[in-house]
Chain A
Amino acid sequence: MRLAPLFRIAWRHLGHSPIRTALSVTGVAIGGCFMILLSALMAGFESKFVDETVESSPHVTVLDEFRDPPDEFAGWLSERSGGVVAVESAHPRERVYRIKKPWETLAAIEARPGVASAALNVVGTSILNFGNREVGAALVGIDPEAQDRVVATDTYMIEGRLSDLHSASGAIVLGSGLAERLGVRRGDTIGAALGGEGGTRALRVVGVFKTGVVPVDGVRAYTLVGLSQQLLGLGRDVNRIVVRLDDHTQAREVAADLEATVGYRTESWQEQNENFLALFNIQTVITYVVTSGITIVAAFGILNVLIMLVLEKLPEIAMLKSMGFTAADVTVTFLIEGLAIGALGVLFGSIGGYWLQQALAAVPIPMKGLIEIEHLIFVDSPRIYGVAAAVSFGSTIFAACLPALRAGRLDPVVTLRGRA
């Protein structure tokens, strides 16, 4: 098969009715463009969430509990007696939740492969008040220097520094959302309910941080370890160890390894954010369904245009065949036309998608949901362009196949008889 004359015929067909060609190309381009735009936007939100989460939360958290709760006597008795003996109204044993030998455990964790750094934390909930306002906070007792090596915290400070926690005996750093709800700023003095003994303690706000992850900024507050222990009534106990990894994508594996090493239950950041990550998966599926719909509509447009073209060219197809062009030649000619429309559509769609991303990213659209953003975020990854190109191009070729095969199969004698 000699392709040169086929390319020439296809090219002339397309060039002869530029408006029709432009419309088909536009159809493909719009499909591709929106596919790129939506995919990039969705991926943008996801990656922003993941980045912020990975930066602002520990990759792995070691908890002060065990995955399998310790056997209670009542259950043990019932099982051993084959159900003959049952204990009614059994109370679980009072247990103090804490990590035993925290410094040894910390050292053991830091020695494991894949662990970059680890720090001791004291966590619990505390009621903060300022005037009449009372807000529940997730209190985290930290050592600022050790903590910053595990979770980027100081970089998110919008007022004061994390190290300012050392500056006063009752110093506290608040998340921006928390500070907003309390209505306080740096330098204000707030009250915190004392756990255990009762009463309140006055605290001085020495800083405010903002990670952009709304659920974090709205509840978290940092103090030094000792102060948290006092506020939560924990004595000298530590109940969390937070861990940073060399590679955050390995969190599930390392978490399992640490759990096996130290015995305490561990949670990877994925496990802690499972709901949100599942949501992103659903979102990705929806994106592809919607954009595939657009692409299919565009493909139908091409199908239409090519069927019209074939019908219009019936006599010429008959003539080509009587000149010695084969069915395959004719099919390839129309496929080339579909291919050209697809290729041009993908090209313009990609340019359009890129351009629209840039334009939309420049427009300030402040949004506060799961994450807080000032602009729409797009992920400009070659993969997104690749998928969009493949889908648009593929559907175009698919749409071109039907009319092209039909054109090839046309019996010239039938056409000539009809016209003679």
Chain B
Amino acid sequence: MNRAVATHAPAMETVALRRTLGEGENALEILHGLDLVIRRGEFCAIMGPSGSGKSTLMYLLGALDRPSAGAVKIDGIETTRLPEAALADVRNRKIGFVFQFHYLMPEFSALENVTLPMAKQGVPAREAAARATELLGLLGLAGKERRLPARLSGGEQQRVAIARSLANQPLVVLGDEPTGNLDTRNGDLVFELFERLVREQGQTIVVVTHDPRLAARTQRIIRLMDGRIVDDGKPAEVLARAGERG
């Protein structure tokens, strides 16, 4: 499935996006009017210090949260006023999440974990199992489909989580520090996978990362600082400018 033809069309978009947490006197604006376009087929990293609003932005892009003001459009769908069930459906069909922790169901085998998002969509069990097997094979986990997560290594668990995020052929894979819990070798492995998915399948991927070495492997870095975009461009340039500023 090659989505390269659709490259350059926006996958997701934010318009004057604001997000305030808390209420009344405790209200704190985390994002101060972000305008951002993620195009199809892009492999993009979001960087920034802790508390800069990276995760908040991720949750908004992934339709897990709604903006306080402004808008988020996922594949042209405005999420602000969508009812809960419709929002859940957008997550199910358009988004694949990978978090720092794998959050696999400990009672389900690797294969079953990958089939869950498909089951939610009503994909027949046989078909879902076939796709899950294919995905696990693609991620180098062939032969380990029947294992419970507890019997997989940390790197393997995270790769199962990535397979799960790809199950419904999402428009965008969102990674919130997906390598945060992995050693360098496994972190590299995960990024290699991402690169391959972008290259071979035209998959759109947005990752939050602290690691400039990994961010350098993407096509675009967006730097956030105190809830504002302070830089956005090719990795080498952004990293160089960040270096100059210290």
Q: Do A and B bind each other?
A: yes
Write the residues of chain A forming the contact surface with B, with a CB cutoff of 8 angstroms. 2, 4-5, 8-9, 12-13, 15-16, 315-316, 318-329, 412-413, 416-417, 419-420
A417-B55 CB under 8 A given contacts A5-B116, A322-B64: yes
Chain A to chain B contacts (Cβ below 8 Å), 18 pairs? A2-B122, A4-B119, A5-B119, A12-B107, A12-B108, A318-B103, A321-B88, A322-B62, A322-B95, A323-B92, A323-B117, A324-B89, A324-B92, A324-B117, A324-B121, A416-B64, A417-B55, A419-B99
Does the CB pair A13–B107 fall under 8 Å?
A: yes
- List, in ascending order, chain B residues with CB within 8 A of A2's CB: 119-120, 122
Instruction: Give Cα A16–Cα B150 distance, bound, in whole angstroms.
Output: 13
A316-B117 CB under 8 A given contacts A322-B64, A322-B97, A413-B59: no
Q: A-facing mask of B89-103, CB < 8 A → 1, else 0?
A: 111110101011101
A420-B88 CB under 8 A given contacts A5-B119, A5-B120: no
17 other contacts beyond A322-B64, A323-B116, A323-B117, with CB at 8 A cut-off? A2-B120, A8-B112, A12-B107, A16-B106, A16-B107, A315-B103, A319-B105, A322-B62, A324-B89, A324-B92, A327-B84, A412-B64, A413-B59, A416-B64, A419-B99, A419-B101, A420-B55
Secondary structure of the A side of the interface? Answer: helix
Does the CB pair B99–A420 fall under 8 Å?
A: yes
Which 7 A-B pairs have CB atoms at the shortest separation, nearest pair first? A324-B92, A12-B107, A5-B119, A319-B103, A16-B107, A324-B91, A326-B88
- List, in ascending order, chain B residues with CB within 8 A of A319's CB: 97, 99, 103, 105
Q: Indicate whether B195 reaches chain A with its CB closer than 8 angstroms.
A: no
A295 to chain B: closest CB distance in Å?
A: 30
Instruction: Give Cα A320–Cα B116 distance, bound, in whole angstroms.
Output: 9
Q: Indicate whether B176 reaches chain A with its CB closer than 8 angstroms.
A: yes
- List, in ascending order, chain B residues with CB within 8 A of A322's CB: 62, 64, 91, 95, 97, 99
Specify the chain B residue showing the minimal Cβ separation from A5: B119
Instruction: Give Cα A322–Cα B92 distance, bound, in whole angstroms.
Output: 8
Q: Indicate whether B5 reaches chain A with its CB closer than 8 angstroms.
A: no
Tell me the chain B residues, 95-141 only, with Cβ under 8 Å from chain A: 95, 97, 99-101, 103, 105-108, 112, 116-117, 119-122
- List, in ascending order, chain B residues with CB within 8 A of A4's CB: 119
Q: Indicate whether B85 reaches chain A with its CB closer than 8 angstroms.
A: yes
- List, in ascending order, chain B residues with CB within 8 A of A412's CB: 64
- List, in ascending order, chain A residues with CB within 8 A of B103's CB: 315-316, 318-319
| Size of B's binding interface in residues, CB under 8 A | 33
Does the CB pair A325–B88 fall under 8 Å?
A: yes
A324-B120 CB under 8 A given contacts A416-B59, A420-B99: yes
Specify the chain A residue showing the minimal Cβ separation from B83: A326
Instruction: Give Cα A319–Cα B93 distance, bound, in whole angstroms.
Output: 15
- List, in ascending order, chain B residues with CB within 8 A of A413's CB: 59, 64-65
Q: Indicate whether B13 reaches chain A with its CB closer than 8 angstroms.
A: no
A315-B64 CB under 8 A given contacts A323-B117, A325-B88, A417-B55: no
- List, in ascending order, chain B residues with CB within 8 A of A417's CB: 55
Instruction: Give Cα A15–Cα B106 distance, bound, in whole angstroms.
Output: 12
Does the CB pair B176–A321 fall under 8 Å?
A: no
Q: Indicate whether B177 reaches chain A with its CB closer than 8 angstroms.
A: yes
Does the CB pair B105–A12 fall under 8 Å?
A: yes
- List, in ascending order, chain B residues with CB within 8 A of A329's CB: 88, 120
Instruction: Give Cα A316–Cα B164 distance, bound, in whole angstroms.
Output: 13
Does the CB pair B88–A8 fall under 8 Å?
A: no
Q: Which of A8, A323, A419 contacts B91 (CB 8 A)?
A: A323
A323 to chain B: closest CB distance in Å?
A: 5
Instruction: Give Cα A321–Cα B84 distance, bound, in whole angstroms.
Output: 11
Most chain B CB inside 10 Å of its own CB: which residue of A8, A323, A327, A328:
A323
B213 to chain A: closest CB distance in Å?
A: 21
Q: Which of A5, A8, A315, A323 contacts B101 (CB 8 A)?
A: A315
B217 to chain A: closest CB distance in Å?
A: 22
Instruction: Give Cα A419–Cα B180 distance, bound, in whole angstroms.
Output: 12
- List, in ascending order, chain B residues with CB within 8 A of A328's CB: 85
- List, in ascending order, chain A residues with CB within 8 A of B85's CB: 326, 328
Instruction: Give Cα A319–Cα B92 distance, bound, in whole angstroms.
Output: 11
